[in-house]
């Protein structure tokens, strides 16, 4: 049965128009209403537009301060940040990494660049992120500890790391996951690409393991055009991260000496300039987005549709709001109805295990991931135009 009435669909479009206005309503669009233009011009005037410049350091410091991480290392995008974080967490060719099948492709691409074989455990329905219960069950059933490391008994491979992801800015149960990783000798790297501004208790997501990684792609909560960040509390790892993301060059006034194979993964100063201006506006954006989410919560409650919210003790950034529809046919009807009317909505990702490259990877059956895959839809979540007009007087 189709539980979502035509009336509810129409009421949804009216609600979105009430919040965001007329015309095409995208899922998420960037806001450049602060010092973006000024900092870009400063950057061009200074001639430092590329791989060297003060804005990179300034942006890194802003992100470190905001997240409470001791160190932040800017990278060219979030995928590169995750690639390097995995390598520095000790993931090598032929290792296994446990992740979630319900994620954006970048997570698994980075795992692959690091030479790892992904294995997938299920997510929780409420957080849409890795389930600690599923993680423990997988390790208990499939792994043994030898010499302080976890080994997959079936494949004979070392399980080097675990990469949970905070879906749409909803924090996953990262404290439980961190405890399990510690118990099993598995490095924890958080894909926090979607969760800048999301907290578990008072602690920012991405700061629970060896590394967290962020993304500043154009559709993320703040953007640098393209960009990413590695965050860590470990000074030695932070230095290593800076070194190998900047071609592993030994500082010298004129000689080119590189002491290992590094990457050209540094963030250009131009992009960092955008990032500095965006960071200044982040607290305000988070406030406005909380308000947009609150209005959605009230609306969806009134029509009886489950609206995704952070679990108790967590604060979300409301990057992308999401609803959980009754079944696939209701979802498809909703997607068609809204997109035909200029209100962009989008289903959650296909599971990684359905993609050609990852369909042979080991997994635990993924019941919740499959359930969510058929039902979750993202709804428009930008900062509304009237909000930044008001903010700019
Ligand atoms: C955006 C994103 C990334 C990183 O993406 P880039 O486009 O490379 O910055 C990684 N993981 C997830 C889950 C993401 O949503």
Q: Are residues 73 and 189 in the same domain?
A: yes
Distance 79 CA to ligand 1 centre (A): 6
CB of 102 within 6 A of ligand 1: the answer is no
CA distance 368 to 229: 30
Atom 9, ligand 1: residue with shortest CA distance: 78
Looking at the fold, whether 201 and 158 belong to one and the same domain comes out as yes
CATH assignment at residue 239: 3.40.640.10
Domain match, 105 and 87 both? yes
Q: Is 106 in the pocket of ligand 1 (CB under 6 A)?
A: yes
Same domain, 51 and 181: yes
Q: Residue 49: inside a domain, yes or no?
A: yes
| Choice from 80, 104, 213, 319 to test ligand 1 binding pocket (greatest atom count within 8 A of CB) | 104
Boundaries of domain holding 209: 36-278
Same domain? For 49 and 21 the reply is no
CA of 205 to the centre of ligand 1 (A): 15
Q: Would residue 97 count as lying in a domain? A: yes
Cβ–ligand 1 distance for 104 under 6 Å, the answer yes
**Does residue 63 lie within any of the structural domains?**
yes
Residue 242, domain member (yes or no): yes
In a domain, residue 94? The reply is: yes
| Mean pLDDT, rounded, for 76-84 | 98
**Which pLDDT score, from 0 to 100, does residue 5 have?**
83
**Phi, psi at 356, each rounded to 5°:** -50, -45
φ and ψ at residue 231, rounded to 5 degrees: -120, 145
- Tell me the per-residue pLDDT of 298-341, one tens digit each, with 9 for 90 and over: 999 999 999 999 999 999 999 999 999 999 999 999 999 999 99
The answer to whether 163 and 208 are in contact (CB under 8 A) is no
What is the strand order of the sheet 314-315 is part of? 203-204, 199-200, 314-315
**3-state DSSP: the chain helix, strand, coil percent, rounded to 5?**
40, 20, 40
Same domain, yes or no: 304 and 362:
yes
Confidence of residue 390 (pLDDT cuts 50, 70, 90): confident
- Is the separation of the CB atoms in 91 and 65 below 8 Å? no
Tell me the best of 220, 223, 271, 346 to mutate to test the pocket of ligand 1, counting ligand atoms within 8 Å of each CB and taking the most. 220
Q: Are residues 68 and 106 in the same domain?
A: yes
**pLDDT tens sequence across 114-152:** 999 999 999 999 999 999 999 999 999 999 999 999 999
Q: State the average pLDDT for the chain.
A: 96
Q: State whether 141 and 15 are in the same domain.
A: no
Regarding the beta carbon of 107 and ligand 1, being less than 6 Å apart is answered: yes
Q: Which of 19, 26, 13 lies closest to 341 in space, CA to CA?
A: 13
Shared domain for 319 and 242, answered yes or no, is no
With beta carbons less than 8 A apart as the criterion, state whether 292 and 19 touch: yes
Residues 67 and 144 grouped into a single domain: yes
Check residue 1 and give its pLDDT.
42
Each residue's pLDDT tens digit, 186-245: 999 999 999 999 999 999 999 999 999 999 999 999 999 999 999 999 999 999 999 999
Q: Which residue from 30, 76, 78 has its CB within 8 A of the most atoms of ligand 1, so it is best to mutate?
A: 78
CA of 298: how far to CAs of 12, 302, 305, 384, in Å? 12, 6, 10, 18
Mean pLDDT of 95-109: 98
The CA distance from 295 to 303, in Å, is 13
| Measured distance CA(233)–CA(246) in Å, rounded | 20
CATH of residue 335: 3.90.1150.10
Note the pLDDT tens digit of each residue in 146-175. Answer: 999 999 999 999 999 999 999 999 999 999
The CA-atom distances, in angstroms, between 183 and each of 180, 188, 219, 275 are 5, 11, 36, 37
Asked if residue 1 is part of any domain, the answer here is no
Q: Domain for residue 118, yes or no?
A: yes
Which residue's CA lies nearest to atom 13 of ligand 1? Answer: 104
Domain termination residue (choose one: 278, 308, 328): 278
Predicted local distance difference test score (pLDDT) of residue 392: 67
Q: Which of 278, 301, 316 is the last residue of a domain?
A: 278
Same domain, 175 and 291: no
What is the number of the ligand 1 atom nearest to the C-alpha of 82? 10
**Is 96 a member of any domain?**
yes
Residue 301 Cα to ligand 1 midpoint, Å, equals 31
**CB 77 near ligand 1, within 6 Å:** yes
Our count of domains for the chain comes to: 2
Tell whether 230 and 292 lie within a shared domain: no
**Which of 254, 278, 302 is at the close of a domain?**
278
Residue 19: closest CA among 381, 334, 304: 381
Q: Which of ligand 1's atoms lies nearest the C-alpha of 103?
A: 13
| Apex 68 CA angle, 62 and 71, nearest 5 | 65
pLDDT exceeds cutoff 70 at 393:
no
Residue nearest to atom 5 of ligand 1 (CA): 78
């Amino acid at each position: 049965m189709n539980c979502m009435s035509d009336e509810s669909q129409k009421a949804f479009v009216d609600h979105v128009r009430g919040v965001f206005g007329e015309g095409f309503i995208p899922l998420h669009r960037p806001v450049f209403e602060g010092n973006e233009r000024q900092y870009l011009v400063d950057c061009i005037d200074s001639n430092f537009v590329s791989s060297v410049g003060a804005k990179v350091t300034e942006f890194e410091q802003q992100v470190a301060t905001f997240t409470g991480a001791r160190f932040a290392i800017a990278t060219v995008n979030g995928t590169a940040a995750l690639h390097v974080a995995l390598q520095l967490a000790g993931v090598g060719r032929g290792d296994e990494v446990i992740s979630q099948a319900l994620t954006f492709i970048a997570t698994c691409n980075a795992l692959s660049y690091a030479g790892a074989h992904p294995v997938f455990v299920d997510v929780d329905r409420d957080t849409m992120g890795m389930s600690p219960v599923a993680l423990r069950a997988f390790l208990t059933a499939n792994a043994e500890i030898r010499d302080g490391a976890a080994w997959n008994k079936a494949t004979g491979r070392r399980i080097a790391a675990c990469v949970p992801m905070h879906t749409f800015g909803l924090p996953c149960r990262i404290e439980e996951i961190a405890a399990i990783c510690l118990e099993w000798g598995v490095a924890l790297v958080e894909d926090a690409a979607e969760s800048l501004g999301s907290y578990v208790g008072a602690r920012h997501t991405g700061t629970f393991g060896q590394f967290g990684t962020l993304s500043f792609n154009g559709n993320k909560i703040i953007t640098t055009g393209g960009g990413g960040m590695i965050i860590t509390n470990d000074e030695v790892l932070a230095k290593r991260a800076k070194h190998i993301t900047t071609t592993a060059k030994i500082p010298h006034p004129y000689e080119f000496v590189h002491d290992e194979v590094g990457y050209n993964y540094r963030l250009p100063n131009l992009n960092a300039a955008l990032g500095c201006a965006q960071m200044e506006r982040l607290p305000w954006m988070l406030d406005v987005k909380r308000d947009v989410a609150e209005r959605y919560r009230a609306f969806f409650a009134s029509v009886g549709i489950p609206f995704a919210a952070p679990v108790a003790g967590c604060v979300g950034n409301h990057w992308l709001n999401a609803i959980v529809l009754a079944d696939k046919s209701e979802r498809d009807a909703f997607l068609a109805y809204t997109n035909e009317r200029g209100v962009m909505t989008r289903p959650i990702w296909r599971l990684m295990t359905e993609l050609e490259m990852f369909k042979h990877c080991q997994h635990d059956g993924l019941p919740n991931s499959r359930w969510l895959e058929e039902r979750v839809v993202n709804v428009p979540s930008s900062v509304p135009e009237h909000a930044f007009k008001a903010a700019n007087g």
